[in-house]
Amino acid sequence: MNIAIVGATGNVGRKILEVLEKRNLPIDDLYFVASSKSAGSKLKFKGKDIEVENLENFDFSKSNITFFSAGGKISEQYAPIAAQQSVVIDNSSFFRMDPDVPLIVPQVNSNDIKNMKKNIIANPNCSTAQLVIILKPLHDLFKIKRVIISTYQSTSGAGKAPMDELLEQTKLSLESKKIVPKNFTKQIAFNAIPHIDTFVDEGYTKEELKMVNETKKILDKNIEITATCVRIPVLVSHAESINIEFENEFTIEKIRNALNSAEGCVVIDEQKDGGYITPLEAEGKNETFISRIRKDNSNNKAVNLWCVSDNLLRGAALNAVEIAEAYIKNN
């Protein structure tokens, strides 16, 4: 099995590399691919230096599976070319809503991989990935009617430059120096920005509509969903406050048991000081953590909960590699 990573030198590309080092995919040859600016540099894999190749002239026939983690424009241009020779697993948003491209979270809908028509499989938005892993077991048991989500998303979701800017702004703020935002619409240090991606119809942002549309595609088109997405001054891990309304009766004990038994989920909910998960504690971990599980005291058919996951792993690199594992298992 030969594997290529397009965007290997970026945040998610490097995380895919880390995940591959820890998993048991039967890799014969691994190719790192990036822009001409990064071509010629070297990355390590299992102690071996591998030279980064130029995307513009890379021969995709050398690869059986190709991960794309270089943004939507690169995926738009090069993924169809790669898909003529290789199965493409794309981390950008470009193909997610294409009806001929399955949008996959393996713990939720791995069977949809068989619906692949363009030799491309899409990886969902990072906030969607951790959400649907939680919703799936609850939907199976109690049938979800409506979901209300507020996200608290780390700066790594926007890339390395925004992470660096958070650190720079924090230093400037502590030194009482002027801050001029570069990658954000307002100061991110010691702040919260209720705006991720561009504004679209009816006051929503693209990020919010991604969560709505992707969740419907992955899980169930009949679930009603609304979202508010907020950028917070954290480097890694996204958090979500979720209100879930069910059609059927439920108990908190059954919800806890369902989530504790679900693949990829861990409940940490002691309901005391410190008995919950935070973004800092989730960093570097594969699981989606759930805390603050409680009945909605305004609606006896609804529950509130809090979840946190490493967006670079569960929301991107880990999910992409798990898609590859699911594809290999069924082919």
Pair type for strands 48-54 and 29-34: parallel
Which residues are catalytically annotated?
Answer: 126, 238
* 8 A C-beta contact, residue 125 and residue 315: yes
What angle do the packed helices 206-218 and 126-142 form, to 10 degrees? 40
Sequence-ordered alpha helix ranges (H) in 4-45: 11-22
- Judged by DSSP in three states, 214 sits in helix
Task: Please give the Cα distance from 318 to 237 (Å, whole number).
Answer: 13
Which tokens hold the place of 62? 């050398």
Distance CA 257, CA 288 (A): 15
269 to 262, 265, 281, 285: CA distances (angstroms):
16, 13, 14, 17
Other Cβ atoms closer than 10 A to 286: 16
Q: Which helix (H) or strand (E) holds 206?
A: helix 206-218
What is the three-class DSSP state of 202? Answer: helix
